[in-house]
Structure 1
Amino acid sequence: MLPLTESQIRGSLINASRKEVKDITLPSDFDDVDWDRLDYYGFRDRKAPRRGYVVVRIDDKPVGVMLRKSEVKPNNRAQCSWCRDVTLPCDVVFFSARRAGSAGKKGDTLGTLVCEDFSCSENVRRLPPLPYEGYDLEAARDRRIVELYEHVVGFAEAVAA
């Protein structure tokens, strides 16, 4: 992923009000982000812990979505809808996103189960478990990286629609 600036992140949000954009608090380690190892940039707001943000490049343009974390955790260990990792080192939680435009103003939302700390890019880069002898682990990892990007783009496009 190409590096993002604070102003690009703020300007990319398609489902946030001007006040919500103004109130964003970036992570304290924002200047140390390893952009080369990310398929999307996701973070939780330090001052509003139930709020999260995801920015993905679509046609070389950053598209951002503001998310809201559910107060209720799933009863069972859920699988992330984006990275689909089965050996997750983190919890998966339900996030909802207000749709962009008039649909969002009417209260329409979309939801998804995602890694609580948005560590999907790291998760898909680990080699998966060997399901059988001769399985191409490298090809599986490459496929998971592509699929992660497609899942995040699909979610952002659904919020924008």
Structure 2
Amino acid sequence: MEPLDETTIRAAFVNCSKGEAKRLNLPGKLADIGWEDLDFLGWRDPKAPANAYLVLPREGKLVGLALRAAAPHASQLKSSLCALCQTTHAAADVSLFAARRVGNAGKQGNTVGTYICADLACSLYIRGKRKPSAVTSARVTSTVDEEVARTMASLNKFVDEVLTDNA
């Protein structure tokens, strides 16, 4: 992923108001992010951990999504699978994230949800730069490029749902 600046990130959001995008907390120092290892930028708000954000390149432009995380699962004994990168984690390390739909559907409170790595670090799990805590963790035997393509296809399918105003 190409490095992004604050203005570009804030302008990318499609499912929140400009005021909300202006007020959201960015992921620390942008210059310290390892952009070369990311396929999308994902972070949780350290001041409000239920708030999370994704910014991804899509069809030649950036799309940003504001998300809400469900309460974490308490079990470290059960495992869960990230719907994007297919990494198996302890159940507490995968969260259900909901995104408000765009347009009238979003104004009526309609959301779309999916299970994603709780730390939104799918790109790092794919590349082996971060290891899941689940003992039963297993990776699919495919190349990093194939896993990136599958992850981004899953993420784009989720974004398609968010961008659908079905009111």
Checking the alignment, whether the CA contact within 8 Å between 2:87 and 2:138 is kept in structure 1 is: no
Aligned to 1:142: 145
Checking the alignment, whether the CA contact within 8 Å between 2:41 and 2:54 is kept in structure 1 is: yes
Kindly state the Cα deviation for residue 36 of structure 1 after the two structures are TM-superposed.
1.3
Checking the alignment, whether the CA contact within 8 Å between 2:81 and 2:89 is kept in structure 1 is: no
Partner letter of residue 128 of structure 2? R
Kindly state the Cα deviation for residue 50 of structure 1 after the two structures are TM-superposed.
0.7
Aligned to 1:95: 97
Unmatched segments (≥5 aa) in structure 2: 130-136
Aligned length: 154
Q: Do the aligned partners of residues 87 and 105 (structure 1) sit closer, same or farther apart at CA in structure 2, a change above 3 Å counting? A: closer
Pick aligned residue for 2:128 from 126, 129, 148 = 126
Q: Distance in 2 between matches of 1:129 and 1:96?
A: 26
Kindly state the Cα deviation for residue 5 of structure 1 after the two structures are TM-superposed.
1.2
Q: Do the aligned partners of residues 86 and 23 (structure 1) sit closer, same or farther apart at CA in structure 2, a change above 3 Å counting? A: same
Checking the alignment, whether the CA contact within 8 Å between 2:79 and 2:88 is kept in structure 1 is: no
Aligned to 2:134: none
* Identity fraction in percent: 34
Partner letter of residue 111 of structure 1? G
Kindly state the Cα deviation for residue 74 of structure 1 after the two structures are TM-superposed.
7.0
Kindly state the Cα deviation for residue 87 of structure 1 after the two structures are TM-superposed.
5.6
Partner letter of residue 51 of structure 2? R
Aligned to 2:14: 14
Partner-residue secondary structure (3-state), 2:79: coil
Q: Distance in 2 between matches of 1:79 and 1:28?
A: 27
4+ runs deviating over 3 angstroms: 127-131
Kindly state the Cα deviation for residue 118 of structure 1 after the two structures are TM-superposed.
0.8
Question: What TM-score do you get using the length of structure 1 for normalisation?
Answer: 0.85
Unmatched segments (≥5 aa) in structure 1: 132-136
Q: Distance in 1 between matches of 2:139 and 2:80?
A: 22
Q: Do the aligned partners of residues 39 and 129 (structure 1) sit closer, same or farther apart at CA in structure 2, a change above 3 Å counting? A: same
Partner letter of residue 93 of structure 2? D
Q: Distance in 2 between matches of 1:58 and 1:130?
A: 26
Aligned: 1:56 with 2:56: yes
Checking the alignment, whether the CA contact within 8 Å between 1:64 and 1:156 is kept in structure 2 is: no
Q: Distance in 1 between matches of 2:85 and 2:139?
A: 17
Partner-residue secondary structure (3-state), 1:78: strand
Which segment is superposed worse, 69-78 or 13-22?
69-78
Question: What TM-score do you get using the length of structure 2 for normalisation?
Answer: 0.82
Q: Distance in 1 between matches of 2:154 and 2:139?
A: 24
Q: Distance in 2 between matches of 1:59 and 1:39?
A: 14
Aligned to 2:133: none
Partner-residue secondary structure (3-state), 2:146: helix
